[in-house]
Amino acid sequence: MHEMLPHLIQTDFPRIRRTALTTLQANIGYRCNQSCVHCHVAASPQRTEEMSWETMELLLQFMQQSGAKTLDLTGGAPEMNPHFKRLVSAATSQGIHVMDRCNLTILTEPGYEDMATFLADHKVEIVASLPCYLEDNVNAQRGKGVFNASLEGLQQLNELGYGMAGSDLVINLVYNPQGPVLPPPQASLEIAYKQELESRYGIQFNQLFTLANMPIQRFGSMLLSKGLFKPYMELLRSSFNASTLDGLMCRSLISVDWQGYVYDCDFNQQLNMPLGDQSDAIHLSQLFDQMMQDQPIKIGDHCYGCTAGQGSSCGGALS
């Protein structure tokens, strides 16, 4: 999304630094069985980029060396990487907590019928996108038939114990708005989600995370084409909430792309903004034995997307 770079990189966003590194978020491929309008990585079935096993081994080595305890797998549909199961198995055998950012529909695709059972067997925490509990809204944002396929995936996971009372198998759902508006309050929306999904479909889950849409890649292109980019940025900036700064995920996380290059967050990765005060891309292999704590985090105007209103992170609202 290079045409947006001048708008986003020149910023008066507050300077921030990393605290202790706890999480490695790895984008292991852009291939996906969906092409959602809000996707900030422009994933689709036509994308072919995918992380190699050699780079995955580097991830595991770095986690051992750095002391980071959580491996957060994203994509695309991360499950479509041919080494996904091998990576999850290796990570969990090392005592690493694995999170899978799952679109739910992949669980019903041919060839992935055993994926839900695999995730349960390895106690993988699932973070699943479900932008509404109403069929028409979900299909409008993510494609025809996505809602029913998502429900089928959720029902599979519930049957395995995910989201059920007394179970240690965690599934959290993710809501994002359909357009250039801020999410509603997370706590009240979570209550509505739980009531509607259980009463209509018998589905249960642990928590709901609300995320603002980022003005980059596919969603950013839509904003530009409709003349909404500037008004949306003004909304994000005017809704800045300073109390969200301490909880920003970038302060305890680094993002690794499918080739092994490192960024301060997944959004910076998509904007090709190198790590911290670096002017050139830096590879994970160059970070071994480097002190990550108290290092500067590269910022841009898109950072207002994470600090608007209640704030947004890959773990939901921040305040």
Direct distance between the N- and C-terminal alpha carbons of the chain, in angstroms, rounded to an integer: 30
The neighbouring-strand residues paired with 128 are 102, 173
More confident residue, 317 or 307: 307
- Whole-number Å distance between alpha carbons of 78 and 118: 14
123 inside domain = yes
318 inside domain = no
At position 223, the amino acid (one-letter code) is L
pLDDT at 213: 87
Q: What is the mean pLDDT of residues 150-165?
A: 96
315 inside domain = no
More confident residue, 147 or 89: 89
Contact 180, 228 (CB under 8 A): yes
Backbone dihedral angles phi then psi of residue 23, each to the nearest 5 degrees: -135, 135
152 inside domain = yes
Q: Which pLDDT band, with edges at 50, 70 and 90, does 206 fall under?
A: very high
Residue 207 sits in which domain range? Answer: 2-307
How many domains does the structure of the chain reveal? 1
313 inside domain = no
Structure-token match 């995955």, residue found:
56
118 inside domain = yes
The neighbouring-strand residues paired with 129 are 174
pLDDT at 300: 92
Which CATH number covers residue 231? Answer: 3.20.20
Show Cβ contacts of residue 247 under 8 Å, excluding neighbours closer than 6 positions: 311, 313, 318, 319
317 inside domain = no
258 inside domain = yes
